[in-house]
Structure 1
């Protein structure tokens, strides 16, 4: 595995929420539900995407849009068109005061498909990731609030398949859509991070260096191994001094500083898993005892691992208490 593999390990779509919006200008749809990461694309026509409190950005047919930061956003044929429809989630949407007079109109056109006309000229698709965890957070921090990646030939086969599959409701349909979304996200991230104006996660561009890239893969393959700078240098056939200098230049951190921060990000996610303990997590990230691990974790993360365990237990207890009283979502007329 490499850095991007690890960063995306917690981003895998599982029951992702998809929305296919069919519209005829003038139109605007407001996506009100905050989400850590949303991916959108214009399958037909052009649109403007405006994040809450941000500046509008144009997306042309075939472009891919990434919106991150738990904020809402609006998509429309013009940044000046007021939202006519609000979409809360897959089961809740409604017309606004600026919407057309459609009393009694059911604007659910089909599976995951919304609109006031089935043959509108503009077709916008969104999908939302329920990302959680500190490893995922390293990826999110590397992205601007709103990213528009120009359409590229490598996206076209996936977009064609997405356009075919999103309105179907066959057995296993959600799994097909989730995997399409994962493949599209990986290609989009690779395209974005290759741009000179992008700021990829620490170490990403160093993967292109044959020796430092190999060192990074070794660290990610086995972070619990008792690595030393000399040991890493020997593994990739470099002298200790040259390796340490080259690694710091390309990654922006000394090798063991990078390793410690990566271990603590992995540990933070492990601590949130049911049944975890400080001792068990310590062993999984390369510490022989919980005391040394706790000191390192608190130094890097600013809180003790026991605090994370208690917060996780409280969250799970609260979720269990509220599960029995949650009402089913309804579609607003």
Structure 2
């Protein structure tokens, strides 16, 4: 499995709301913190502005555009960003699957999409690996998403048996397609795992780590996989990813360990050698350094009952 697929699999996204959004006239809506939900939308008709917290420039959305908000950052949608925003909670009713919301009677903008919860107490670290916003405008990228968008529209409007499940799978497909297309574009000049993955040479080293995380990798070996000298690879990886290759290897091992602690019931004595540690103590030390608590403390954490509470648990863990 490739690195992007592995990361998204650990997130275990669950699409629990798919809906349509109509707007007309002058309007501006502020969406608060999304509690680490992933949102994926497509503009079917019309245009508007998107402003995401932490992103310097607002995005002009046109008909056919798609955008993904992987990390749940607060954002604003508006016909004009100079207009004072209204809180989304004042406009949108309680979330309904397949529902449609109208502002000023609609007519100027129609947008469809889904939002995802994520399961797993380590979700916060995984979401931080993804870009804050993905905006697709190129015709070649839109073509790959077009079928998914049109079929989702159909499922939303017709409400046939099984329609929610189809919309759920379509939403997952839209998320993967958007992130993959963003990678192929080069994903910009930011710093982080996703930006390192967009570098074809660094991506080879990341793929090697993901394919065999238990191996005792050295900088020299990873540099050879990437086709660079040891020093050049180390510098380029740190500049792109914001951490050293060995730090990334350790963090990825810990994320795998978190997943096993949550889902498998395996003891530390089984997990430690499976991800490359020769002793329980070495694994526990590395785990506490990265995750902020011991493996046993993490394993005793209450299992979240919902995707939203899972994201909140991740926030507490990272903060600690």
The TM-score normalised by the length of structure 2 is: 0.73
Displacement, 1:57?
A: 4.0
1:247 aligns to 2:202 (yes or no)? no
**What is aligned with 1:204?**
197
Structure 2 match to 1:77: 79
Indicate whether 1:127 and 2:114 are aligned.
Answer: yes
Query: For the structure 1 residues 302 and 186, does the alpha-carbon distance in structure 2 shift closer, same or farther, using more than 3 Å as the test?
Result: same
Q: CA deviation at 1:123?
A: 0.4
Cα offset for 1:200? 4.7
Q: Distance in 2 between matches of 1:69 and 1:50?
A: 14
| Alignment-derived partner of residue 104 in structure 1 | none
How much has 1:257 moved relative to structure 2? 3.8
Shift of 1:26: 3.2
1:46 equivalent to 2:36? Answer: no
Asked whether the 8 Å contact 1:192–1:198 carries over to 2, the reply is no
Q: Which has the higher helix share?
A: 2
Q: Indicate the RMSD between aligned Cα atoms, in angstroms.
A: 3.7
Q: Which residue matches 1:291? A: 281
CA contact (8 A) 1:41 1:65 kept: yes
Matched residue SS, 1:16: strand
Question: Could you give the per-residue CA deviations for residues 156-194 of structure 1, whole angstroms, max 9, x where no partner exists?
Answer: 323333333332322332332222222222232234341
Equivalent pair of 1:41/1:63 in contact (CA under 8 Å): yes
Q: Secondary structure at the match of 2:263?
A: coil
Pick which of 72-81 and 110-119 moved more: 110-119
Uncovered stretches (5+) of structure 1, i.e. residues with no partner: 92-109, 320-333
Instruction: Select 2:65's aligned residue among 63, 66, 76.
Output: 63
Structure 2: give runs of 5+ residues left out of the alignment: 307-320
* Structure 1 residues 258 and 244: alpha-carbon distance in aligned structure 2, compared to 1, 3 A threshold: farther
Taking a change above 3 Å as real, the CA distance of residues 300 and 117 of structure 1, as seen in their structure-2 partners, is closer
* Structure 2 counterparts to residues 214-233 of structure 1, below 5 A: 214-228=204-218
Give 1:259 deviation, angstroms: 2.0
- Whose radius of gyration is greater, 1 or 2? 1
Q: Secondary structure at the match of 2:230?
A: helix
Correspondence for 1:190? 180
Q: Secondary structure at the match of 1:111?
A: coil
The alignment of Structure 1 onto Structure 2 pairs a total of residues equal to 291
Q: CA deviation at 1:112?
A: 2.3
After superposition, the C-alpha distances for 1:295-315 in whole angstroms (9 at most, x for unaligned) are 1112333322222123x23x5
Deviates more, 1:291-300 or 1:80-89: 80-89
Q: Distance in 2 between matches of 1:19 and 1:32?
A: 18
